[in-house]
Amino acid sequence: RIMRSFAWSGSPARIVFGAGTLAQVPEELARLGSTRPLLLASDRWADCGVPAAARFGGATMHTPVEVTEQALAVFREHGADSIVAIGGGSTTGLSKALAAHTAAPQIVVPTTYAGSEVTPVLGETRDGVKTTRRLPEVLPGTVVYDVELTRSLPVATTVTSAVNALAHAIEALYSPQASPMTDAMALHVIGTIPRALRDLSTVDSRAELLEAAWLAGNCLASVSTGRHHKLCHELGGRYRLPHSETHTVLLPHSLAAHGSTDTVARAMGVTDAPGALYDLISELGGPTSLRELGMPEPQDEFLHRAWRGQRPG
Ligand code: NAD
């Protein structure tokens, strides 16, 4: 292989991984010297045992600034001194947005495979327009992965969220900023997720998915956004399509649009990576068309251009 040059910055976050690790959040708060955390969590996690000054359960997808304002008011009203966020990428996004305003330390407990907890990427929506920024200061300082919390994730969300993680890894593999570190993480993710998705019955396969999600998030953190993520972002923003579902529909097509996909195929243990990925998604009942996500037929030149070349051969 041809020698390449690269730069690498490792994330300084503290990662705690295991089953039942939610119980360690009070210890982690003590490490931070926090006594009044604001808990960001939906009703599902309301009785999580985290001693919080207040709870805000209103996180929604794509981090609308109005929701951040509401959470910020609760944070200030209760004199909170840190943030504990339990939930998927939407809750993590709100935590990061709050951190951007308050500089409060964050403990994020992810319950999906979005990977946002280990990226400095902050996506926000104002007046229906989503913008994305990279802000090192919003990177959560502590991430507590508790595999037990992911066991309630419905199969449909498990599939789309895991494919979202796979997209981070595949994009890192093809990125101009790829390095031996991102390659190693990406290949692990690509080798693990399709296999683990076929057997969700054990805590071990859930643990494999969650570990892969962590590494995939690190992949996303380490490279700039590529064509697949940009396309998902454009379509998701313009047509309000759900995030991980959009990734799931487009990933086999984005992959097929790459010249050679041999590396991905080898990591997956198949010969035709885009075809195998498409088959896996449809066998697991995942979405395979944008129409089923509520997108109308492409109506403008931008979409025609974006769409051409994205269909598998
Ligand atoms: P989400 O957080 O909206 O969760 C999806 C659904 O699953 C919600 O209804 C949620 O309540 C439910 N859920 C979550 N965990 C559950 C569990 N364990 N059991 C049962 N139900 C559960 O979706 P997501 O795909 O995790 O996150 C999407 C958001 O994250 C988008 O806004 C996206 O832009 C953002 N994101 C950001 C980054 C980044 O680096 N900044 C990376 C990936 C995703």
Measured from the Cα of 63, ligand 1's closest atom is 32
Domains, the chain: 14-150 (3.40.50.1970), 155-307 (1.20.1090.10)
* Residue 225: predicted pLDDT: 85
Nearest CA to 100 out of 69, 129, 130 is that of 69
Average the pLDDT over each of 20-34, 37-51, 221-235 and give the range with the smallest value.
Answer: 221-235
Ligand 1 centroid to residue 295 C-alpha, Å: 20
* ipTM entry: 0.99
- List pLDDT tens digits, range 113-139: 999 999 999 999 998 788 899 999 999
Residue 149 Cβ inside 6 Å of ligand 1? The answer reads: yes
Q: At what angle do helices 243-256 and 273-283 cross, to 10 degrees?
A: 150
Distance of CA 267 from the midpoint of ligand 1 (Å): 26
Nearest CA to ligand 1 atom 36: 89
Which residue lies with its CA nearest to atom 15 of ligand 1? Answer: 111
Distance 203 CA to ligand 1 centre (A): 20
Q: What is the pLDDT of residue 312?
A: 37
- What is the best residue among 45, 56, 61 to mutate for testing ligand 1's pocket, by most ligand atoms within 8 Å of CB? 61
* Residues 145-193: tens digit of each pLDDT: 999 999 999 999 999 999 999 999 999 999 999 999 999 999 999 999 9
Please choose from 126, 225, 243, 248 the residue to mutate so as to test ligand 1's pocket, defined by most ligand atoms within 8 A of CB.
243
Q: Which residue pairs, CB below 8 angstroms and at least 24 apart, start in 158-161?
A: 158/113, 158/197, 158/200, 158/209, 159/197, 159/248, 159/281, 159/284, 159/285, 159/286, 160/242, 160/244, 160/245, 160/247, 160/248, 160/286, 160/287, 161/88, 161/112, 161/113, 161/114, 161/213, 161/244
- Grouping H, G, I as helix, E, B as strand and the rest as coil, residue 8 is coil
Evaluate if residue 298 carries a pLDDT over 70.
no
pLDDT at residue 282 above 70?
yes
Taking CA atoms only, the protein residue closest to ligand 1 atom 19 is 153
